[in-house]
Structure 1
Amino acid sequence: MHRLSRDDARRLAVRAQLLDAERPGDLVEVIEQLGSIKIDPTALIAPAEQLIPWTRIGWAYEPGHLRKAVETDRTVFAFDGSFHAASLLPAMVSLMRHRTLRATAAQYVEANAAFRRDILARLRSEGPLTAADIPDTSVVQANNESGWYGSNQVPRMLELMAVCGEVAVAGRRGRQRVWDIPDRVWPRDLPEIAPEEAERILAERRLQAYGIVRRTSPWARVGDAGEPAEVEGSAWRWRVDPAALAALDDDPDGRAAILNPYDRMLFDRPRLAELFDFAYVSEQFKPKAERLYGAFAHPILLGDRFVGLLDAQLDKKKENLVVTAVHELLPFDDEERAMVDAEIRELADWLGVGWPRAAE
């Protein structure tokens, strides 16, 4: 049983997410460590899949690196709303191909068996294609109580086929996914892995990305991966990545980091509160009158503390990053304010725009 101070637990979490002063060298290094990065079109400053790598790498990261990694180098692949490290493919494909759909989804696929075959045949003969390129030959419509889908059944069927490993995302045209058969997207010689072994591998990689996490966290699902740990002042049962723990003695200086609201560092809200005393609430869906920090405020990490929230928006017409407010959760001293301002300026430079505050 490892016994950790709260400071050490926070340092493990920050370093596992590559948010310490020692920046990674490239996109593949980032995704190999994090396992995945979220894809989200909400882009008041920049899309999640672009800002998350920039937060780690800094000025050396360019948006085109991600497209090259996915579509040319195949070191990254898209699946279920995220970009994943290609090294995870064998384990993830094993689970895809052994997946059991929920009853309603299974009934929908069975009723539309001919529709599914039509999609596969068209992709084999004409692919890669967007959903808009594929005719809807369905005979049964899926339940759409959520309102998430339109009447066209092609996107719905493609997503169900994707989670079972029958189709894969080959790239994007703008925000539209381009689909193809897996043999033309993934390596054909993927090793066969039993589902139980795949689950173990993925649990270890999730722990690698978190460094330290509650054993029963539904956001991490690490189970018995790693080793048990106690954290000073916490009654939780923790699991810790032994490799990260072994490297903890080397303690580089911290830095300022601006996190997209869909950053993996923020997924496990109870962990943020327990280790960082940070109660993060996204106000995106709150009425405007109830917002305290802005609809899509980006948390600011300074060293191993969440010190503020950045309320800003990219004004493409005026080519400015308009900073409405930097909300200080913990009062900044002069040095801290300079570090945060420098990171905002770096962000504006990366976006290729100026930085006038709203009050200026």
Structure 2
Amino acid sequence: MTHHLTRDEARRLAVRAQRLDAERAGDVVEIAEDLGAIKIDPTTAIAPAEHTILWSRLGRGYEPAQLSKAVERDRLLFEFDGSFRPISRLAPMQTSMRAWPRRASTKEWLEANAKFRADVLARLKAEGPLFASEIPDIAEVSRPPDGWSGSNQTGIMLEFLARQGVVAIAGREGRHRRWDLAERIYPQNLPVYETAEAEQLLNEARLRSYGIAKQNSPWIPVGTAGEPATVEGSDWKWRVDPEAVAALDDDPGGRVAFLSPYDGMLFHRAAIKELFDFEYVLEQFKPKAQRIYGYFAHPILFGDRFIGQLDAEVDRKREVLKVNAVHEMLPFDPEEHEIVRLEIEDLAEWLGLRLEAW
């Protein structure tokens, strides 16, 4: 069955799947289950991405301790490849972990550093969990710095072992990760899936997280999950979650939300442009003179439209939230002005800061 959607319906599918509609989620784990991944990023113009992503869904009742509890105590979420993920996704992910690495150069580096690998695992077994800085670098063959990692090889080895599912992140102290054997972190006796079955399960989960996705997209791969769809005014081929389509009539309505630049809703920039007619460019890495909307501007979603961008920053010395500008991509009406203002006040209250008048 091919679904024929209006642009409004397609946008509502995306907004509801990403839990940005008027019906707030109950807790951190529920959000992670629905989104599939909560990006981790330390940039603190306002707050780290993982916390802003959760606040934008849960509201003022969210506290960062809820996330650390779900990850480190309850073990209902796990950290992998720069995101917090629900344990429900671990079993199908382990299929690709067991097959990693595929690149010959990575295999050769691991083989050349077999003693180093064994030493890292032995230390974790005897002393773990440990910071990378507590594990000596005894690599016999080094990989050159690549812009993401330095010359120390311990961090690289731990990252590679994590991709193999052999070690895992036990928790964090600030931005520093503690590592341990995966068998102590991940639940044991999970189902084992063949490659095709695991891929299908992950494709279906990704489609549920986004509601609608471009067919054959490398950004949000969904394969043949769901059902085909067309969208009014778009010549793209789409896949949709049929259960989400069936629930469109049961619409709780929209609300305003400020999105971290690393929010999953913005991940596929081209799809956002195609469905929402909103072209978002992160200006963090642009020279100051070339910035239009600000260093770390947060897009403002109102219902199923992107209406502006919030350029704000935290001044910790003065304990204030400073709003540099609220850029109106579409002219705000009086109600939108008021609702955006109230949301900025809620943001300052959540941060525990005074809002500086703007």
Deviations 1:266-304 (A, max 9, x none): 000111110000000001111111100001100000000
In the aligned structure 1, how far is the partner of 2:219 from the partner of 2:207? 11
Which residue of structure 2 lines up, in the alignment, with residue 78 of structure 1? Answer: 79
In the aligned structure 2, how far is the partner of 1:46 from the partner of 1:265? 17
Within 5 A, what are the aligned runs for 1:1-360?
A: 1-144=2-145, 146-357=146-357, 359=358
Q: Secondary structure at the match of 1:355?
A: strand
In the aligned structure 2, how far is the partner of 1:244 from the partner of 1:343? 28
Aligned 8 A contact 1:23 1:56 in 2: yes
In the aligned structure 2, how far is the partner of 1:356 from the partner of 1:101? 52
- Runs of at least 5 residues in structure 2 that lack an aligned partner in the other structure: none
Q: Secondary structure at the match of 1:15?
A: helix
Deviation at 1:6, TM superposition (A): 0.4
TM-score where L is the length of structure 1: 0.98
Residue identity matched to 1:135: P
Aligned 8 A contact 2:144 2:151 in 1: no
Residue identity matched to 1:7: D
Residue identity matched to 1:21: A
In the aligned structure 2, how far is the partner of 1:190 from the partner of 1:229? 34
Q: Secondary structure at the match of 1:58?
A: helix
Q: Secondary structure at the match of 1:245?
A: helix
In the aligned structure 1, how far is the partner of 2:195 from the partner of 2:121? 25
Aligned 8 A contact 1:98 1:195 in 2: no
Q: Secondary structure at the match of 2:179?
A: strand
Deviation at 1:343, TM superposition (A): 0.8
Deviation at 1:70, TM superposition (A): 0.4
In the aligned structure 2, how far is the partner of 1:299 from the partner of 1:147? 28
In the aligned structure 1, how far is the partner of 2:184 from the partner of 2:309? 43
Deviation at 1:122, TM superposition (A): 0.4
Deviation at 1:73, TM superposition (A): 0.5
The structure 1 segments of at least 4 consecutive aligned residues displaced by more than 6 Å after TM superposition are none
Greater alpha carbon shift after TM alignment, 262-271 vs 96-105 = 96-105
Deviations 1:195-240 (A, max 9, x none): 2111111100100111001012211100111000000011100000
Aligned 8 A contact 2:207 2:241 in 1: yes
In the aligned structure 1, how far is the partner of 2:127 from the partner of 2:43? 32
In the aligned structure 1, how far is the partner of 2:279 from the partner of 2:147? 30
Deviation at 1:99, TM superposition (A): 2.0
Aligned 8 A contact 2:128 2:179 in 1: yes
In the aligned structure 2, how far is the partner of 1:149 from the partner of 1:8? 43
Deviations 1:145-198 (A, max 9, x none): x33222211001110111111111111111111100011001112111112111
Residue identity matched to 2:227: E
Aligned 8 A contact 1:116 1:157 in 2: yes
In the aligned structure 1, how far is the partner of 2:127 from the partner of 2:341? 51
In the aligned structure 2, how far is the partner of 1:147 from the partner of 1:92? 27
Residue identity matched to 2:185: V
Q: Secondary structure at the match of 2:354?
A: coil
In the aligned structure 1, how far is the partner of 2:147 from the partner of 2:7? 43
Identity over the aligned pairs, expressed in percent? 59
